[in-house]
Amino acid sequence: MKKGIALITVLAFVLILSLLMVPLYVSVLGMTSTLRSIQVLPAKHEAFAAGLNVARTLIVNAQSPATSTSIDLAQGTIVVTAYLSRSLESDLSLQEGQEGIDCEETMRLCSAVNYWDVTVTFKDAYTLTGTAVQYVMFQPDKDYVYLLDFKEGRK
Amino acid sequence: MKGNKSFKGMTLIEVLISLALLSVLMVVVLFTSTWLFTFVKNRLIALPNYVIGLSRAYSAVYLNAQDIQLSATYSVDKNLPSVTLYKKSGSDLVSNTVNFKELIRAEALSTATSATVTLEVQTASVSIQQPADNKFLLLLYLSIPSSDGRRFDNTVVIKKLVNAAPVPESFTRNGNNVIVDLYYPALGFGVRPTGSSDLQLVTDTSTITTIIDDNGVRKTATVSLTGTTLNGRNVYQELYIQTSATTQPVFVTIPPLIGVDGTPCEDVTVKVVTSP
């Protein structure tokens, strides 16, 4: 008889505990799903900012008209690509001692201003595209890279 | 026997008192447990609402923050608070004002207040701070009180990513003169004061620059800025290089310019290409 009462007590206790747990579970589930849906916003914000910094370095050190790199961040992988869309020629060939310089071989030296089409892709789902303009100086670390008119598009 | 009867009577009273105390105890337990269950239930039900409400406010602010980070320039009104941003559309800059307080009240929390404990939407506040030493940074503080006296705070940090640099976009020849369309308008020419490495804005709208003709001869030319107004301030969308040379310039030197967001652009000598 006593064992029966003890069992019922335990079962009742478990039942009450379960009833308490259900709303707790629903609440926590609601919170986590909501937070998960918005956490991509700051992650994307940081990834794009990092991607544009990478784009500056990529452009300054570019050896060819098309260049690309990918970096694994804590927020996800970013892929940065830059394509040279057009260049404005410098007056280097007119300068003393530089006559006859082969501008085909020395892409960097003969350009004064380079226009690059830049794409930053985050997690293979979000893309940021725009134009970067490079003012070519005598040394790559002295170059100026201006990031212009970027827009976000989704793949 | 008498003693035994007294003992039995005392026991009965004790039992009755015990039952009475037990009843009181049970009533207390009933009320306490009811209050406890209600307290827990209210908070558990309200908890997702807090998160949803705050998340929606946060994402509403964040989505507009992204527009700010990709805008050419912006101006801040700390009283509303609002941010007027300017984005490139064709050759013009188009303005768009984001009123953050209105945004939170109207869109973010209107359906997130059905729980027993509610978010006090009407007294929710958002404020904007702009660090004096970094004009490309905005800090947005969200603060939303709830009906049970708690307060939920969050901060969004916005960093402007693009540079409104007045770089050359295209060239047009007008006789022997050259018109340079700028990608973003300029506030004016930049000069580097003696001993300073930073370009500073000068209000003059014409200066002397260099052109190189097709014989490789360097000559001087007058360059002036023409444009319009933006947010009550003169901005210049075109650079007009006027030369008295008899031959067309092949190369032109574009003098240092300052962009509408303060981005300095160094001087550069480029070949004139009329078709991009």
% of chain A beyond a pLDDT of 90: 33
For residue B47, pLDDT over 80 is answered with no
Residues B135 and B179 in one domain: no
Six token digits for residue B142: 């969200």
The more confidently predicted of residues A144 and B5 is A144
CB atoms within 10 A of CB B49: 23
Q: What's the domain range around B227? A: 168-271
pLDDT in tens, B180-210: 999 999 989 988 888 887 888 887 778 888 8
Domain boundaries, chain A: 1-38, 43-154
pLDDT in tens, A25-41: 776 777 777 677 667 77
Check which CATH number belongs to the domain holding B110 and give it. 2.30.60
Residues B149 and B174 in one domain: no
The answer as to whether B1 is a domain residue is no
Q: Mind telling me how many Å the CA of A3 is from chain B's nearest CA?
A: 24
Angle between helices B2-69 and A2-38 (to 10 degrees): 10
Residues B148 and B206 in one domain: no
Cβ contacts (< 8 Å) between A49 and chain B: which residues? 69, 159, 161
For residue B112, pLDDT over 50 is answered with no
- Tell me if B52 and A48 make a contact (CB, 8 A cut-off): no
Q: Tell me which of B159, B177, B212 is where a domain ends.
A: B159
Q: Could you tell me if B34 lies within 8 Å of chain A, comparing CB atoms?
A: no
Q: Could you tell me if B39 lies within 8 Å of chain A, comparing CB atoms?
A: no
Six token digits for residue A128: 């940021």
For residue B107, pLDDT over 50 is answered with no
Q: Tell me which of B159, B180, B212 is where a domain ends.
A: B159
pLDDT in tens, A38-71: 677 788 888 998 999 999 999 998 888 899 999 9
pLDDT in tens, B141-163: 888 777 667 777 878 888 888 98
Residues B238 and B151 in one domain: no
The answer as to whether B240 is a domain residue is yes
Of the partner residues A45, A91, A131, the one whose CB lies closest to the CB of residue B251? A91
pLDDT, averaged across chain B:
80
pLDDT in tens, B117-137: 566 666 777 788 888 888 888
For residue B61, pLDDT over 60 is answered with yes
The more confidently predicted of residues A46 and B50 is A46
Q: Could you tell me if A65 lies within 8 Å of chain B, comparing CB atoms?
A: no
DSSP 3-state of A2: helix
For residue A147, pLDDT over 90 is answered with yes
Residues B117 and B185 in one domain: no
| pTM of the model as a whole | 0.77
Of the partner residues B48, B70, B168, the one whose CB lies closest to the CB of residue A88? B168
For residue B262, pLDDT over 90 is answered with no
> Distance between CA A63 and CA A140 in Å, rounded?
11
Cβ contacts (< 8 Å) between A21 and chain B: which residues? none
Contact B211, B251 (CB under 8 A): yes
pLDDT, averaged across chain A:
83
pLDDT of residue A128: 93
Residues B186 and B113 in one domain: no
pLDDT of residue A96: 66
Beta bridge pairs of residue B249: B213
Q: Could you tell me if A48 lies within 8 Å of chain B, comparing CB atoms?
A: yes
Interface A–B counts its CB contacts (< 8 A) at: 110
Residues B54 and B153 in one domain: yes
Residues B151 and B179 in one domain: no
Taking CA–CA distances from B276, the nearest residue in chain A reads A86
Cβ contacts (< 8 Å) between A113 and chain B: which residues? 167-168, 268, 270
pLDDT in tens, A85-125: 999 988 877 776 666 667 666 667 788 999 999 999 998 88
Cβ contacts (< 8 Å) between B159 and chain A: which residues? 49
For residue B25, pLDDT over 60 is answered with yes
Residues B51 and B121 in one domain: yes
pLDDT of residue B101: 77
Residues B118 and B184 in one domain: no
Q: Could you tell me if A152 lies within 8 Å of chain B, comparing CB atoms?
A: yes
Q: Residue A147's closest CA among A138, A135, B12?
A: A135
> Distance between CA A131 and CA B168 in Å, rounded?
13
Q: Could you tell me if A142 lies within 8 Å of chain B, comparing CB atoms?
A: no
The answer as to whether B25 is a domain residue is no
> Distance between CA A133 and CA A148 in Å, rounded?
7
Q: Mind telling me how many Å the CA of A127 is from chain B's nearest CA?
A: 13
Number of domains comprising chain B = 2
- Reported ipTM: the value is 0.75
The answer as to whether B265 is a domain residue is yes
Residues B154 and B50 in one domain: yes
Q: Could you tell me if A10 lies within 8 Å of chain B, comparing CB atoms?
A: no
Contact B265, B223 (CB under 8 A): no
Residues B148 and B91 in one domain: yes
**Contacts with A142 (C-beta within 8 Å, 6 or more apart), sequence order:** none
Q: Could you tell me if B184 lies within 8 Å of chain A, comparing CB atoms?
A: yes
